[in-house]
Amino acid sequence: MALNIVCVSIDSLRGDFCSFIESDEETTPFLSKLSNNAMVYESAITPSIWTLPVHTSIFTGHFPPEHGVLTGNEGLGDHPTFAEQLQDANYTTKAFYSNGWLDTADILRGFDTSWSSQPSSQSEETVKKKVSNGIKSVSPRLQEAVKKSYSYYEGSRAREAYDLYNLWRSSETSLTGKDTDGERDVNSAIDEVKNITEPFCWFLHLNEAHWLYKPPNPHQTAFTDRSTPALIKNAVYWQNRVYGSRPNRLKTVADEISPPAREVETFRNLYRGGIRYCDSLVQKLVESLKSAGVWDDTVFILFGDHGDSFGENGVFGHHFSMDESLIRVPLLIHDPTGQISSGRVSKPVSLVDIYPTVLSLADADIPENSGFDLTKETRDEAFSYYDISKHDYYTNDYGVSKDDLPPPIQHLVWRSQSEKAIHYPISDEYHIVGANKKELRNLLQEHKAGFNLLENSENELSKNVRDRLEKIGYLQE
């Protein structure tokens, strides 16, 4: 019987914040238990540092310079995705997600798609009034801070403001987060279990660890003892000050905006709470697969698409850096057949390796790709490529001098934290850690010289996708 495949991507999940890898905080209690019967890749490296090029690499088995999907203005070429290959092998394929980048460039080709969105029936003014009045009962001073931040809430920001109000209210009503996109996506997947046709391949993406960090009750207080008013002020004022618009994110990178250390630590603790919440959603999904009697025939793959920085190298979020906080992500594979045994691997692997590994486990045809089949081999180096030189996030004028920003193109070869090299092609400069400087430089150049470039097409973000990206803060001007 063919194996089922379930892939879970958790956006912005960095490896060193996961307790099943190295964190001392109990951020992932369920995954820590699951890891006892899975392979944990402790040095998994993402092929880029933001959602779109990373997932394109996962679905195609090629690095970003090869597939060319770098900004959202490109469409994926004819190279088959692993979902298309599995459909050809008689798999039922479906994707559950809310992040609009996944609806870009045709990267989910081969999946039947199901994306969640939260309807809104209230006007902006009604929402603002409810937010303001609700918060006033907690702290009049905090109400003033919220009023000052209303400029962030135009259009879909009003929905966000109402969500923040619900966050505040949940501490009193024990709201458990059933209205989050992730919860709805997991519930949609669970509904599919009831009438599932095997073999199947699912892709599930959770965005609940992504900024803005607003985990539902009780997770917002799981790693902090700060008061509810302080947490609301952090979410409404400081997070929007740093993450709430493109100009603000660029000004933060350029050191024109500097959040206080205590607020940065609160960012980190709320992020930890978001990870804990994602862990609970994964547990809910796995338990449904077990209840349906399909778990023992299912390969389960969980990964973070990239990490998140909290001031490392002056960066908040996930752009402009090849820091460990961004490139090292968790990767866990539970394989009931034992082709991938339980244990831990410290050598580097790449998320690009998921492509041939999935197809190998499914006994499907494997097109030419740049990954390593983890059922058979491992690699000695991993590579990551970042290029927003033609992205409007970088090319548009947001009032920040390009001279004050890090290089928009950065390439990495990684053997370990103590042996790696970053190349900045525009200036042709290198930052190299370790003694083997010439070898690392040559490895990176040889890897780039061996690229198999794929043809792609032009693409344009639809209004629906733009609206959904604005909802999570990506396109706010």
| Segment 123-150 mean pLDDT | 53
Token pair for 88: 């050809």
Q: How far apart are CA 319 and CA 175, in angstroms?
A: 33
Residue 124 pLDDT grade (very low, low, confident, very high; cuts 50, 70, 90): very low
Q: Residue 228's pLDDT is what? A: 81
In 186-307, where do the E strands start and end?
200-206, 298-304
Residue 429 one-letter amino acid: E
Q: Residue 174's pLDDT is what? A: 40
Peptide bond into 218 cis (omega under 30): yes
pTM score, two decimals? 0.89
Strands 429-433 and 39-45, sheet pairing: unpaired
Instruction: Among 110-119, 148-157, 333-342, name the one with the lowest average pLDDT.
Output: 148-157
Residues 157/127, Cβ–Cβ less than 8 Å: no
Q: What is the pLDDT of residues 310-326, one digit of tens each?
A: 999 999 999 999 999 99
- Count helices and strands in the chain by DSSP H and E runs: 17, 17
Other CB atoms within 10 Å distance of the CB of residue 472: 20
Was domain 4-118+179-216+271-471 assigned CATH 3.40.50.2300? no
Q: What is the pLDDT of residues 400-441, one digit of tens each?
A: 999 999 999 999 999 999 999 999 999 999 999 999 999 999
**Gyration radius of the chain over CA positions:** 22
Domain ranges for the chain, please list them: 4-118+179-216+271-471
The answer, yes or no, to whether residue 157 has pLDDT greater than 60, is no
Q: How far apart are CA 264 and CA 39, in angstroms?
A: 33
Backbone angles phi, psi at 227, to 5 degrees: -70, 160
Strands 39-45 and 349-350, sheet pairing: parallel
Q: What is the pLDDT of residues 92-107, one digit of tens each?
A: 999 999 999 999 999 9
Token pair for 101: 């980048």
Alpha helices in 6-119 (DSSP H): 29-34, 51-60, 64-67, 82-88
The answer, yes or no, to whether residue 189 has pLDDT greater than 60, is yes
Residue 117 or residue 114, greater confidence: 114
Q: Residue 195's pLDDT is what? A: 85
| Segment 433-462 mean pLDDT | 88
Q: What is the pLDDT of residues 254-289, one digit of tens each?
A: 999 999 999 999 999 999 999 999 999 999 999 999
Q: How far apart are CA 267 and CA 250, in angstroms?
A: 18
Q: How far apart are CA 331 and CA 351, in angstroms?
A: 8
Residue 289 or residue 462, greater confidence: 289
Q: Residue 72's pLDDT is what? A: 84
Q: What is the pLDDT of residues 49-96, one digit of tens each?
A: 999 999 999 999 999 999 999 998 899 999 999 999 999 999 999 999
The answer, yes or no, to whether residue 385 has pLDDT greater than 80, is yes
If residue 458 lies in a helix (H) or strand (E), which one and from where to where? Answer: strand 457-458
Alpha carbon 338 to its chain centroid, in Å, reads: 28
If residue 316 lies in a helix (H) or strand (E), which one and from where to where? Answer: strand 316-317
Strands 112-115 and 92-97, sheet pairing: parallel
Residues 253/319, Cβ–Cβ less than 8 Å: yes
Instruction: Among 39-48, 113-122, 239-248, 302-311, name the one with the lowest average pLDDT.
Output: 113-122
Residue positions counted in the chain: 477
Q: Residue 171's pLDDT is what? A: 47
Strands 316-317 and 4-10, sheet pairing: unpaired
